[in-house]
Amino acid sequence: MKKLSIFVLSLIPLVANASNDVTQLEGSFKVGPAIILIFILSLFILVGLLFRAKDTTDYYAAGRGISRVGSGMAIASNWMSAASFLGMAALMYGTGYHGLSYVVGWTGGYVLLLILMAGQIRRYGKYTAADFIGDRYYSKTLRTIGAVIAILISIAYAVGQFGGIGLMFKWVMGIEYNLAVIIGGSVVLAYTLISGMLGVTKNMQIQYVIIISSFMIPLFLLTFKFDYFWLLPQIGYGSAVQDIVEGIQISEKSGLMNSLGHHFAIVPSPEYAMPWDPSAGQTFFQWMAIAFSLMIGTAGLPHVIQRFYVVPKARDARWSVVWGLFFICLLYWSAPVYSALGTILSSNPEVGTLSPDAIVVYTAQLGDINPLIVGLLAAGGVSAAFSTTSGLLVAGSSAFAHDLYVKVINPMARPKTQMLVARLGTLLMAVIITIIAMVDLALIAQLVAIAFSMAGCTIFPLFLLGIWWSGSNRAGAKAGLIVGGIVTLISLTYLVGARGLGVAI
């Protein structure tokens, strides 16, 4: 029955190149995945046009007319970036249990966000993070600094996304990475400029459906094919983790192969699951520090906080976090499945060194899943990067146009001028992000973690104390920003320096 099912699945018409007759997983232009990708991107632009921003309220905060579940989906889509879709599995593929610190940090932070921030932020009725900071601390300087930090965070975060878009475009089109970054970046820029936040929010709901379906479908197929409990792969892969720890002999799963013709077998590899394993080069302290900084970073990211301005009431803001977190967790429960199966499928040294950031796609490819479904997966990755990037560009341009231009430079600016400045800001940011993405500084998730560190050190304390402690004042906020800025600068210097010296981070 099982063989029959696999046979039936393989009868789906193939348009794309099969991968089982080459020694490398990357190659030339893949027609099927390219068609899927173009279709999905066209859909985004169409929705963007249909729901495009008509005025500044629409552009910044989607007219405050989005439902709780819809907002939850938008939160999830906005959140589930290339770092979640591609980077999560990449981290666990390379560092095993250590990668779970990112899963725990990125989801646990939502509890903080909810109980400490979400409802309260909505209650103050601001548009942007800098709005709140400027008004709360009665300071134009702090507003300006807040806006600049929001822009920097958006840029740091978006660099990882552009990297993810570049990787997927490279895989689909068989072109060079830098060119792929430029093409992918141009498409996301065009779309954001056309639609603004209202289109983005509507799109985010569609994007969520695409992201989660494209991520789940290959999981059912893979767990079914390799004899794990496929009805609920998020639990079924537990046996795969245990198999990695204990090893799988060829005789145990005889007949099961990867697309390159290697047996579904692996030597005992406890380092995959054991905590802070010496061979992974990560320590207990790093696990705790990463989880903690990602948690406070989550609660301080301007583009995440900004989502709470788009729900009608504080109560809706709270419930949208519950929905958002649930939708996010659907993906985070699933990402380790790719990592576990990818570890087994690529364990033969003949497979060679794979780019961890593309392990999700490689796992499906090595599992000999229909190329069209692999294409859908790649399109999901692009979609994840798209949804976050467009949100980031809007948050960054809002800070640029609303917080810097209107509130500081030209308070008398007409709405039309504001829109123009917002769009110019978006364009400028996209150019900067593209250039940095081409440098290929680190893994996608690590790049994104920089944005979290920055948000955790700067925006989070200003919001937390500003909301909950009437004694917090302008001088304290400035001092906090200086210290937070220095800490961030040190970590950035370390990252860039380590990259320059070729040291692993």
Partner 1 sequence: MEKNDYRISFFKPTTQQARKNRNLIIKLFVVWAVAIFGFQILLRIVEKPVPEEALITFSPAWENIEMGNASHSDYQAIAQSMIQVMGKITIKPDDYAALKDGTGWALSKVYPEDELPDLEQDVRHLHELRGQITSLQDKEYLETKELIISKAAPALGIGEGTLLAQLLAIGLDDNLQLLAEENKEKIPRIMSLYLTHNRSFLTDTVFLGFPFHYFYSAVFLLVFFVGLCWIYCYRTDKLHAKLNFLEQID
Backbone angles phi, psi at 262, to 5 degrees: -90, 145
Question: What whole-number distance in Å separates Cα of residue 188 and Cα of residue 76?
Answer: 18
Question: Which lies closer to partner 1 via its Cβ, residue 8 or residue 501?
Answer: 501
Residue 19 CB partners (closer than 8 Å, separation 6+): 25, 27, 259, 365, 368, 371
Residue 266 contacts partner 1 per CB under 8 A: yes
Question: Which lies closer to partner 1 via its Cβ, residue 209 or residue 250?
Answer: 250
Q: Which stretch binds partner 1 (CB under 8 A): 48-56, 174-182, 341-349, 372-380?
A: 341-349
Q: Which stretch binds partner 1 (CB under 8 A): 179-187, 318-326, 373-381, 437-445?
A: 318-326
Pick the binder of partner 1 from 12, 49, 350, 409 (CB under 8 A): 350
Residues numbered 230 to 259 that lie near partner 1 (CB under 8 A) are 234-236, 238-239, 241-242, 245, 247-251
Pick the binder of partner 1 from 77, 347, 446, 453 (CB under 8 A): 347
SS (H, E, C) 240-281: HHHHHHHCECHHHHCCCECCCCCECCECCCHHHCCCCCHHHC
Residues numbered 460 to 479 that lie near partner 1 (CB under 8 A) are 466-471
Residues numbered 128 to 167 that lie near partner 1 (CB under 8 A) are 135-136
Question: What whole-number distance in Å separates Cα of residue 87 and Cα of residue 83?
Answer: 4
Pick the binder of partner 1 from 110, 386, 452, 463 (CB under 8 A): 110
Pick the binder of partner 1 from 81, 161, 203, 343 (CB under 8 A): 343
> In the complex, what is the shortest distance from the CB of residue 466 to partner 1, in angstroms, rounded to a whole number?
7
Residues numbered 47 to 66 that lie near partner 1 (CB under 8 A) are 64
Question: Which lies closer to partner 1 via its Cβ, residue 127 or residue 177?
Answer: 127
**Mask for 64-103, x = binds partner 1 (CB under 8 A):** x----------------------------xx-xx--x--x
Residues numbered 13 to 42 that lie near partner 1 (CB under 8 A) are 20-23
Pick the binder of partner 1 from 139, 203, 306, 346 (CB under 8 A): 346
Q: Which stretch binds partner 1 (CB under 8 A): 42-50, 146-154, 281-289, 449-457?
A: 281-289
Tokens 């906090």 identify what position?
A: 480
Question: What whole-number distance in Å separates Cα of residue 192 and Cα of residue 386?
Answer: 9
Question: What whole-number distance in Å separates Cα of residue 313 and Cα of residue 295?
Answer: 25
Residue 349 contacts partner 1 per CB under 8 A: yes
Residue 333 contacts partner 1 per CB under 8 A: yes
> In the complex, what is the shortest distance from the CB of residue 132 to partner 1, in angstroms, rounded to a whole number?
10
Give 263's strand partners.
257
Give 257's strand partners.
263
Question: What whole-number distance in Å separates Cα of residue 385 and Cα of residue 44?
Answer: 13
Residue 315 contacts partner 1 per CB under 8 A: yes
Question: What whole-number distance in Å separates Cα of residue 324 and Cα of residue 344?
Answer: 32
Question: Which lies closer to partner 1 via its Cβ, residue 81 or residue 472?
Answer: 472
**Total number of residues binding partner 1 (CB under 8 A)?**
92
SS3 227: coil
Question: What whole-number distance in Å separates Cα of residue 59 and Cα of residue 74?
Answer: 15
> In the complex, what is the shortest distance from the CB of residue 288 to partner 1, in angstroms, rounded to a whole number?
6
- Do 310 and 72 contact (CB within 8 A), yes or no? no
CA 179, 184, 185, 190 dihedral sign is positive
SS (H, E, C) 111-144: HHHHHHHHHHHHHHCCCCHHHHHHHHCCCHHHHH
Question: Which lies closer to partner 1 via its Cβ, residue 176 or residue 350?
Answer: 350
